[in-house]
Structure 1
Amino acid sequence: MSDHQAISAEDRQLIIELLARYSWAFDAGDADGVATLFTENGVFHGSSGPIEGRSALREFVKRAKANAAECSMQHWVGNTVLTRTEGNAVRARSYLTVVLVGEHAEVRAAGEYDDLLVKESGEWRFTSRRYLKWPG
């Protein structure tokens, strides 16, 4: 059985929506919205090191929004590939471009997300979201 067949069409759609909800919530500065997309002890691994737990994730989003207060932020995520991992977990790998739009548009980040997801009470959540910056 291929990885594609191991994940139902419904779960694929729910996972793609999870990735989109993260982008929309983060860009809007919705710290609670971002935090609830992670498991209780979920971790974001970014350029400044790991951020673990919903409380720390909320503060991370608030700081990021404050640092970009003079512009709009847009996370563009695509080319997502899903594979089943151990148990009921799914790995999602996606391309990422972050654009800041103010007086001028600027690509702030380009790289990929490497996510580990689990289904809790019928909802897919991040246990780990790792940002990997591309060189250049």
Structure 2
Amino acid sequence: MDATDRLAVIDTLNRYGHAYDQGDFEMLARCFTENAVFTIDGGIGDMPTQMRGRDEIVASMRARRAATEAAQRRHLITNIMMDPDGPDRVTAACYLLLGSTEEGTLRLPTTARYTDVLERDGDHWAIAQRTLRLDGSVG
């Protein structure tokens, strides 16, 4: 995996956070492969613990964002590591700090770790499998 691919993987991971935080669900959809699986280990309100397929992932994320509309969320990822599994597949892991501002008060609802499998999807890298392991539950 060359530097260009590594940067493209990082870009996908960053775009996910920006897309959710800004309510850009087209961009969010592009972050996932058509048959992606997103598993959540821990509780996030009424979200399902496993979502299958891009459409279900985006619908669940849209519903979650609507439920927390009063808060401005910021998904901050850090400490990204990657292990290539071939020319078109990579396993990545990173930490999440979730910031939330509501009525002028900043909170840190949770920290977590994402473990992802990304695949080359046409002209970009997309998440095929994502596991979110929360360090604490998010209301």
| Deviation larger for 98-107 or 10-19 | 98-107
Kept in 2, the 8 Å contact 1:29–1:61? The answer is: no
In structure 1, the partner of 2:30 is 36
Q: Which of 2, 10, 13 matches 1:19?
A: 13
Which 5+ residue runs of structure 1 have no aligned equivalent? 1-6
1:77-119 deviation digits (Å, cap 9, x = unpaired): 0100000125631011001011111121111221100000000
What residue in structure 1 maps to residue 124 of structure 2?
A: 123
Question: RMSD between aligned alpha carbons?
Answer: 1.6
User: TM-score, normalization: structure 1?
Assistant: 0.88
List aligned pairs for 1:10-89, cutoff 5 A: 10-46=4-40, 47=42, 48-85=48-85, 88-89=88-89
2-structure distance, mates of 1:41, 1:97? 27
Alpha-carbon distance between aligned partners in 2 of 1:94 and 1:132, rounded to the nearest angstrom: 11
Q: Give the number of equivalent residue pairs.
A: 130
Counterpart amino acid of 1:26? Y
Bigger relative CO (Cα 8 Å, ≥ 6 apart): 2
| One-letter code aligned to 2:110 | A
Q: Which runs of 5+ in 2 are unaligned?
A: 43-47
Identity value in percent: 25
